[in-house]
Structure 1
C-alpha cells in the first residue's frame, strides 16, 4: 500500500527540522596556534543551517545571505564543536535559520557558547527556481521569541535594500 502524499505546504513545527550536528576539530581545521579557522566554522554553520532548511522545505535550497555571524569564543583542535540549527522564520520562498555554535572539551566536559549566526535560504523547485515553503508552527516561547527577532531582522534588511535602491536612483538623477 502506498502512503498518502503529504501536501508540501502543510505547516511544519520548528522541531521537525531542528539539527544538532557535532564535529570533532582536527589539525587541518586550525592554524598553527591550534585555533580553528573561522572559515571552517562558517562551513559547518552553512551545512547545519542548510540541512534544517532542506528538512523544512523538503526541497533543494541555496544560501541567500548570512545576516550576522558573531565569533564569541575560539574553538580548538580536539574539541567537539556542536552546531545547532533551527528555522526561525518563514517567508514565501525563503527561511531564516539560526545556528548556535557550542564547543566542548571532551576530556573535561566543559562547554561554552562559541558563536551564533543567522542565515537566509531560498527553496528551489526542480527547475532551480524559488518556490513556496510551508508555514512554520511555533511550539515554544523560545520559538516565538526567535520568530519575532527574525521578523525584525528581515524588516531591517528590507529597509536597508530600499535605502540602497533609493541612493542608487539619486546617484543616477532619477
Structure 2
C-alpha cells in the first residue's frame, strides 16, 4: 500500500535520539537502572517524536506495548534512546523506542524496546488528525505491517478487558 502523500511526513522527519548518563539517582536498590526511571525517559522521547510528527504541542500516551527489558544499565553508562514513528492512524501514532548502552568505543548493545501509542490533542483538548506517514523503503513497510498487527492485538485485548 502506498502511503506517499504531499501532506505526509517521513519517518526520519521526527526520528529522535537522546543520550543520558546513568546517575546514582536513576538506580534501583540492586544497583541497576530503575525501570520507572527508564520508562519516564522513554515516555519523554515518545512525546517528542509524536510532537514532531503531528505538529501539535499537546500529545498524550494512550498505550505502551512490549516494554521488553533485555539487559541492565549501571551508573555512568551512556544510555542511547532512539524513537521514530512506525504507524499513523487518524489521530494516533505508534512510536518505536529502542534503548542501548554505548561503551567507550561507541559500540551499542540493546537493553530495551517498547512501542508507545501517542494521540495528538488539538486546541480543545480533543484528539486531532495527524499527518500520514510516508513509507520510503521495505523496512519501514515491514514496521508499518507489524504495527497494524499490534493495533489489532490492542483492540482485541481492550475488548476482552
| TM-score, structure 2 as length reference | 0.91
Cross-structure match for 1:82:
80
Name the SS of the counterpart of 2:90 in structure 1: coil
**Are 1:71 and 2:98 counterparts?**
no
Unaligned 5+ segments in structure 2 are 1-5
Q: Tell whether the 8 Å contact from 1:19 to 1:52 is kept in structure 2 after alignment.
A: yes
Structure 1 residue 41: deviation in Å? Answer: 0.8
Residue of 12, 27, 46 corresponding to 1:49: 46
The structure with more radius of gyration: 1
Structure 1 residue 161: deviation in Å? Answer: 2.4
Name the SS of the counterpart of 2:95 in structure 1: strand
Q: In structure 2, what is the Cα distance between the partners aligned to 1:28 and 1:162?
A: 39
Structure 1 residue 152: deviation in Å? Answer: 0.5
Residue of 100, 103, 106 corresponding to 1:105: 103
| TM-score, structure 1 as length reference | 0.84
Structure 1 residue 163: deviation in Å? Answer: 3.4
Name the SS of the counterpart of 2:71 in structure 1: coil
Name the SS of the counterpart of 1:88 in structure 2: strand
Structure 1 residue 32: deviation in Å? Answer: 4.5
Cross-structure match for 2:94:
96
Q: In structure 2, what is the Cα distance between the partners aligned to 1:130 and 1:62?
A: 9
Aligned residues: 155
**Are 1:40 and 2:37 counterparts?**
yes
Structure 1 residue 112: deviation in Å? Answer: 1.1
Cross-structure match for 1:132:
129
Structure 1 residue 110: deviation in Å? Answer: 4.2
Q: Tell whether the 8 Å contact from 1:95 to 1:122 is kept in structure 2 after alignment.
A: yes
Deviations 1:11-33 (A, max 9, x none): 11111000111111111111344
Q: In structure 2, what is the Cα distance between the partners aligned to 1:20 and 1:124?
A: 23
> What stretches of structure 1 move > 4 A for 4+ residues in a row?
none
Q: Tell me which moved more, 30-39 or 116-125.
A: 30-39
Q: In structure 2, what is the Cα distance between the partners aligned to 1:28 and 1:161?
A: 35
Q: In structure 2, what is the Cα distance between the partners aligned to 1:72 and 1:162?
A: 30
